[in-house]
Amino acid sequence: MTKSFIKQLKKVFFERTNSWQKEVNIFYLAENGKILDSSHTGVIENKFNIFLHPPRSYLFRILELAPFPFVQFPLNIQRKWKFNLEIDDSWSDPNWKEWRGNIDNQSLYTCEKKELLETEFGTLSCSVIISDSNNEAGDSSLVAYYNMDYGFVMLKYHTIDNSNLILKRVKK
């Protein structure tokens, strides 16, 4: 798998998606562009914030324990916000950490700075959001680059197993 893309669904397929979330489909692509698999999830997008569930299939499951891509408006430099998520043991995995019951994942976000970022869409002005998550399974972090026109254009994760994962928005 080399790429993935996200598409908003026109109608709700899963009752588990909260009514205030838009349902989206994440497609996982092979190098030749063939769709290998897909998964459904939710995104919140309104005048107050944007909250996106990251890909969480296969080895991306570890991102359930990392900060989710999340911005709160206005995106002023040094603005801070928090998000807590209770994670049940269905996300436990022998590849990185096993647990029983629920764990509390606490994330702290800071809009650190504005930065110009070279992308497939040109040079974009981005808010750089630094976030850290702490829970009993371990610590993880996310550096998110957010552009007001294109949304999240790059996500740089450091996961609880010390892996680094970079997701970039690309032209389809």
Say yes or no: 89 and 120 in one domain. Answer: yes
Residues 126 and 66 in one domain: yes
Task: Output the DSSP codes for 77-118.
Answer: TT-EEEEEEEE-GGG-BTTTB--SS-EEEEEEEEEEEEEEEE
- Spell out the per-residue pLDDT of the chain, length 172, in tens: 444 444 443 444 444 445 567 887 877 778 888 888 887 788 888 999 999 988 888 778 999 999 999 999 999 999 999 999 999 999 999 999 999 999 999 999 999 999 999 999 999 999 999 999 999 999 999 999 999 999 999 999 999 999 999 999 888 7
Say if 53 falls within a structural domain: no
- Cα 162 to Cα 1, 54, 140, 150, 170: the distances in Å are 21, 18, 8, 29, 25
Using CA atoms, how far apart are residues 15 and 17, in angstroms rounded to an integer?
5
Q: What is the pTM of this model?
A: 0.85
CA distance 131 to 70: 9
The separation between CA 47 and the C-alpha centre of its own chain, rounded to angstroms, equals 19
Structural domain containing residue 122: 59-168
Residue at 115 is within a domain: yes
Residue 41, both tokens: 């999830």
Question: Is residue 93 domain-shared with residue 154, that is, in the same domain?
Answer: yes
The answer to whether residues 75 and 153 belong to one domain is yes
Residue carrying structure tokens 């669904």: 9
